[in-house]
Structure 1
């Protein structure tokens, strides 16, 4: 069972982080009373897998005394339920700006004369929990996309490709329309067309004879090298920005020959660099 406790300053992005964690198949509970945390852990450990990955959000709304939370953490350790604490932080100026934009009231507003005092008091109260955190994320200069990418980097599970951006390379025919979901569209109609070779017309770009014809002469190979220089540069930058899926669509006239051969070769190149990639050929079954 994977147990993550998210805490931190009000306005630092706890709710946003929990939302992103939910997208990563965590079961998220907001502001669960601390004495119930061990009970919830028991439920997860005894369950059938529904609560294998859990995020609990706890903050100053739960009260000014964190003794009950620390006791709950001690109980988790006694139960041999491993947990990690993620602490969300941000500069005072950033938090003040966010509160002004949202027009919400700080949880400690009634106990303080100003928002600055409320933030200062909250920092003091949360410091013991901050010292116990395995991860501290400062969202002062972090966009939502970059926050999502950072969470994926820390909490991705499984294989070395788990949590990485999903890539799909798809071929298509322009006469059937450009795929609506495409992020990058490539036109390979400048390449020699096997359609006009009688023996190759009934075949597809997955057949060796068609691939040999498309790549003969060096144009396709040079195009693939230039294309990889761009795509190979883009992939890590898209991932850094928190993009979770990328669709690269390669088109020719009918979607049977040139686009299929190039899409297949590009997918193999991406896969060879360790990226998770799926390959599809939308129009192979069309006339």
Structure 2
């Protein structure tokens, strides 16, 4: 039993992940992360209906994760292993069995801390219930090909490990990235994670033939690129994003919004956002670009500002 670097892709098969383990070891956390990264998840599904579920016609055929434990109806380890062997032999299913384990002392601490009742400790100490469950689950633990011991893992650690194993081949593909432009004259974007102020660049607004154009027009872009500060600043911002974005993804942050601002939100910020989107796409990301003030009429405050 081992922890692979990542779940191997099976483009011609439906990915089926079975998740079980000791109560309190992190099954709910694992299933929540799997749902976040695109898996369809079902918890405590009746085992006797599992074969019917995974073999019924399904146009989507997306990856499916099913959680079960000692509380699940029909939970008989021998019967479950026989069913798993049957499913593993099907040519249209790529089956993986994940077992979440944890030391008894840590499980006892977690149950005492949360004041939850252990499912097999009715009328007896928690440690006795944990021991009984471990004995019951031992055949499944031996049969599972992937095991994660969560004894020393925080919730965030477990989330990161699940993402490493079962996220899409490109971890960045699971990150929803938005690049936006805006005008400071009309207020800051309220939900941006990173904001870059591009007002240090020469303003095309004060070039009469460029004023009515936008950062999406080539003459405006050429004007901005002629500013001696643009190339170096752009490269530094790009490199910073390439450093940070994979780390956001690794920490399980599903959405990142990067905003570029200028005075009116029509020239410098628009051009920079568009150019940055091109650079990040070349690096394997898939950003969405939004321009908050592209269609806005120049404000009096902008008319008075000479930059």
Deviation at 1:118, TM superposition (A): 2.7
* Counterpart in the other structure of 1:249: 259
Unaligned runs of 5+ in 2: 1-13, 298-307
> 1:230 deviation in Å?
2.3
The separation in 2 between residues aligned to 1:164 and 1:26, in whole angstroms, is 11
The residue matched to 1:109 in structure 2 has which SS?
coil
Aligned equivalents of 2:286, 2:39: Cα separation in 1:
21
Q: CA deviation at 1:194?
A: 0.5
Residue by residue, what CA displacement relative to the aligned partner does 1:192-239 show, whole Å, maximum 9, x if unpaired? Answer: 110000011111112222122212242111211222332222112211
Equivalent residue, structure 2, for 1:108 = 120
Q: SS of the counterpart of 2:85?
A: helix
Aligned pairs, how many? 282
1:31 aligns with 2:44: yes
Aligned to 1:94: 106
Say if 1:84 and 1:172 are closer, same or farther in 2 by CA, change over 3 A.
Answer: same
Which residue of structure 1 aligns with residue 33 of structure 2?
20
Structure 1 gap segments, 5+ residues each: none
TM-score normalised according to structure 1 size: 0.87
Q: Is the 8 Å Cα contact of residues 156 and 162 (structure 1) preserved in structure 2? A: no
Which shifted more, 262-271 or 137-146? Answer: 137-146
Q: Tell me if structure 1 keeps the 8 A contact 2:69–2:75.
A: no
Q: Conserved in 1, the CA contact under 8 Å of 2:171 and 2:249?
A: no
Query: 193-202 vs 25-34, which deviates more?
Result: 25-34
Residues of 2 paired with 1:273 and 1:141: CA distance? 35
Structure 2 CA distance, aligned partners of 1:91 and 1:210?
63
Q: Post-superposition shift, 1:20? A: 2.4
What are the within-5 Å matches in structure 2 for residues 187-266 of structure 1? Answer: 187-266=197-276
